Amino acid sequence: MDKRRYFDWAATALPLPSLGDIDIKNTFGNPSSPYAEGRQAKEALEKARSRCAKALKVPAECLYFTSGGTESNALVLHSLLLRPKKVKFLYSAVEHPSVRENCLVLEKLGFSPAIIEVEKDGRVSPEILSKALAKNPDARLAAIMAVNNETGAIMDMEGLSKILRAKDGAPVHFHGDLVQAAGKIPLDIRSWDLDSASFTAHKLGGPRGIGLLYLRKPLEVLYSGGGQERGIRPGTENTSGALALAACLEQYASPDAVKLEQEKARQRWGHLIGGLKKNPRALLIPESRTEDDLRFSPWILQARFKDVPGEVMVRALDSEGFAVSTGSACSSSSPDRPVLEAMGLDEHARLEGIRISQGWSTTLEDIVALLEGIEKALAFL
């Protein structure tokens, strides 16, 4: 083993070297404090918010700093608890645990969520959403992620929003988990007509513990405290984290940056997919995925290897110097694979799945080495 090669960027990205230039010493004050140090931190925080807003092309007053994607998702979902009566809501069968598990909590509290099924490729189609709405005409919220964190499946967010907006009766709040989409595919929150959206910094090369919540209109939330973030997320703000998140979004979320990085990622992923297709023991999930398949993010790939449990393959590749995963790091302690189950894979196939994901420092040399590492690992399995 000559070096470690990292292929679990969907769990967390390597930190951007440029973040070392962030001015921490001069922004340490509490942004709520009235004296000079506090005012200086407040100014830095609001500049970070404006920079995030410019990168995402949304009004700054619609952005709230949070601790990450999980908290952003929870703030939206748990706001349902404050409605005058328990409302029906929908979430896709392939949502991240931070959405799925919070929906299950609401179900225990007396709500009746309904699951939006997915096609075999793991995507929510407008037709499926339309059928789910027809079965649940009283739904008042729909949570659908833009890019799946295990398969890389890209949802047609604009098409889905048109279905939701065309529904008769009371409007449906459209919440999008954009954690795996920001900086990876072109974002257009306005065209997608989202009411709320979640982001986190550490998938983009920023630190953990800082995220964003986009709200077209303020929500009532369960949290209370000092009134920071206009009451949506009370608690002393993470100023240095906000500056880091702004820098990450500026570097990777602008349309030109996304286009450039996406093309380079597609070339590398094309080499990986082509190499795996030549391996008789390798199968892609879904099997229909091709080298230039625009239905999938070029940053995430799900594959399996015949008769090799995913956990065994992860350990074998680890010993060869490669970091991959079996799926979401947030549910790594559970053998369940609800995303793959929703796509119709049987239990045997689900347990064989591993996730490979790349990021800003991945090279073609890394891909070539990974394919060789897979061959070496399979020789002993």
62 part of the active site:
no
Residue 176's closest CA among 56, 294, 69, 255?
A: 69
**CA quadruple 15, 19, 25, 26: dihedral sign:** negative
Query: Of residues 52, 103, 248, 330, which has the active-site annotation?
Result: 330
Using CA atoms, how far residue 92 sits from 5, 89, 114, 167, in Å, is 33, 10, 9, 18
User: Side chain identity at 284, as an amino acid letter?
Assistant: L
Active site residues: 330
